[in-house]
Structure 1
Amino acid sequence: MSVLRGLPGLSASRQRRIAENFSRAAEHYDDAAQFQRQVADELLSCLPVSCRPRALLDVGCGTGYVVSHLALRFDATAIGLDLAPGMLAEARRRHDHLAIQWLTGNAERLPLAGRSLDLVISSLALQWCDLERFLAQAARVLRPHGWLAFTTLCEGSLSELREAWQTVDGGRHVNDCLPEAALRQSLASPGWRLQRFDLTTRRIWHDDLAETLRALKRIGANTVTGEPASSGLAGRRRFARLESAIETFRDTSGIPTRYRVATVLMQRLDAQD
């Protein structure tokens, strides 16, 4: 589970940056990922009764929260895939009592045979990749009538931090997320039946800017894929300006961080459907 959307065709160096940040966060990820778990729990509850997979894949499995629940629910071959080796190491440690296969891999190039799965699931990870490339891969690895269930972030996520940065230097310090219309267009790809699409706004509150930024770092989501690795906060004066800008969003609960979460359930069609 991750927080922001990357750019199509991320370079190898930026993929390494993403993997390294999530690997560094792995040990303490679950302590800071309450929001991610809530979203994952709701995604798991969306799976239809008719979904009884013999083989399943969790893409962007992180520390294994979703795939471990599925391994307990279903008598199936369960696979967890993630770009970050550190996340997979933590997943193995936490779930070594379960028969789960762990793979290092990319959502845009799934290292699995065609028509080998009955369920592909992903929670808050696909915003780091090109969604249409992932959908093509999911279509390839799913058997006819197999299920695809995922959550991702849409435009409007982290809007407070984005707007605060705009007042500081006008730079792009927050990753872009897909507009709802673009997401819906991608989901209209041939060969799929869209069963569910929900878009909800969620907020998390923090005491101050420092806590807001620490929260992103603790879950490994502090990589901005469209900027050089050296960009970011630089100096007390710049931080003070950002702090002043984000204070304008404060309400009675603190400084809000907004997430626009899309929940999607699709079924792979047979050629005769």
Structure 2
Amino acid sequence: MLDTRAAKAQVRRAFHRAAPTYDRAAQVQREVCARLAALAAAHACRRPVKRVLDAGCGTGHALDRLAATHPGAQLLALDFAPGMLARISGHGRICGDLEHLPLAGGCLDALWSSLALQWCAPDRALGEIARVLAPGGTAWLATLGPQTLHELRAAFRAVDGAAHVIDFHPLETWQTAAETAGLAVRALECAPAWALAPDLRSLLAGIKAIGAHSVGSAPRKPLGRAAWRTLAAQYEGWRRPDGLLPATYDVILLAVERPQ
């Protein structure tokens, strides 16, 4: 979660700039999208889906999947980074924030959000999702838990005391936020996914290529040579038997429904 407007603006700029490189680097994001699709298939919307929103759509990877699953439905694509929306065509594009959805109450039959909610306050985001869903409407959500990038967080502790990775909310917080918003939790899952690279520079370059490098409150300045050597040496402790370095994504999946 981002605590200030300035922090959210920084992340928005990072994703805007990353739009041209996002699709090539978004391996974990595609994997999570497939997992969320399986959850959505197992917990389908129990009302006819005439309008569905992809909230935090990025470059629109999930839109074809949503179109195939809900033929004839109106598809809306929302993101807070204009550069991401610019890469989408053929759907209703909305530049907006998940905490302040620019939509009328009860206007959606279904909502999909894959790896965007982690930048939001759970109570505000789930409150907005509850507001825009019609009675009987369903939302399928993927976000990140507190073990996300734990390797990087630990490695940076040996470099300085700054927060280089934001605090991600645990599964229980998302469940409570959904229930407090009046949503019924139909499914809740948690399982890790990993980005892999042969070395730390490549791993961090992949994170930057999807715009997710603005993930902490530490000042954005290059590391000196000594600090970089310390960081790389600390990260080596997580090298896998296959020779690759991992970055963990603590993936949380939810299916929630606005009661009739």
Settle same-fold status: TM greater than 0.5: yes
Return the match for 2:127 from 113, 129, 136: 136
What residue number does 2:228 align with?
239
Say if 2:45 and 2:137, in contact at 8 Å, map to a contact too: no
Say if 1:168 and 1:245, in contact at 8 Å, map to a contact too: no
TM-score of the superposed pair, with normalisation by structure 2: 0.93
What residue number does 1:201 align with?
192
Give the number of aligned pairs.
255
Amino acid at match of 2:252: A
- Please give the alpha-carbon distance, in whole angstroms, between the structure 1 residues aligned to 2:197 and 2:30: 18
Cα distance, 1:257 vs structure 2: 1.0
What residue number does 1:3 align with?
none
Cα distance, 1:187 vs structure 2: 2.8
Check 1:152–1:50 CA distance in 2 against 1; reply closer, same or farther (3 A cut). closer
- Please give the alpha-carbon distance, in whole angstroms, between the structure 1 residues aligned to 2:203 and 2:224: 18
Cα distance, 1:225 vs structure 2: 4.7
Structure 1 runs of 4+ off > 6 angstroms? none
What residue number does 1:95 align with?
none
Say if 2:175 and 2:185, in contact at 8 Å, map to a contact too: no
Return the match for 1:249 from 223, 238, 241: 238
Say if 1:57 and 1:67, in contact at 8 Å, map to a contact too: no
Q: In structure 1, the residue corresponding to 2:112 is in which secondary structure?
A: strand
Check 1:123–1:34 CA distance in 2 against 1; reply closer, same or farther (3 A cut). same
Say if 2:27 and 2:195, in contact at 8 Å, map to a contact too: no
**1:267 is aligned to 2:223:** no
Identity across matched positions, percent: 35
Amino acid at match of 1:58: D
Amino acid at match of 1:80: A
TM-score of the superposed pair, with normalisation by structure 1: 0.88
- Please give the alpha-carbon distance, in whole angstroms, between the structure 1 residues aligned to 2:45 and 2:80: 30
What residue number does 1:168 align with?
159
Amino acid at match of 1:126: L
What residue number does 1:15 align with?
8
Check 1:109–1:225 CA distance in 2 against 1; reply closer, same or farther (3 A cut). farther
Say if 2:164 and 2:216, in contact at 8 Å, map to a contact too: no
Of stretches 174-183 and 78-87 in structure 1, the one that deviates more from structure 2 is: 174-183
**1:110 is aligned to 2:106:** no
- Please give the alpha-carbon distance, in whole angstroms, between the structure 1 residues aligned to 2:255 and 2:44: 13
Cα distance, 1:50 vs structure 2: 4.4
Structure 2: unaligned runs, 5 residues or longer:
none
Cα distance, 1:194 vs structure 2: 0.8
Say if 1:233 and 1:239, in contact at 8 Å, map to a contact too: no
CA deviation profile, 1:22-52 (whole Å, cap 9, x unmatched)? 1111112111112101111221222234454
CA deviation profile, 1:151-174 (whole Å, cap 9, x unmatched)? 000011101000000111122111
Q: What is the aligned-residue RMSD (CA, Å)? A: 1.6
Cα distance, 1:120 vs structure 2: 1.1
**1:124 is aligned to 2:110:** no
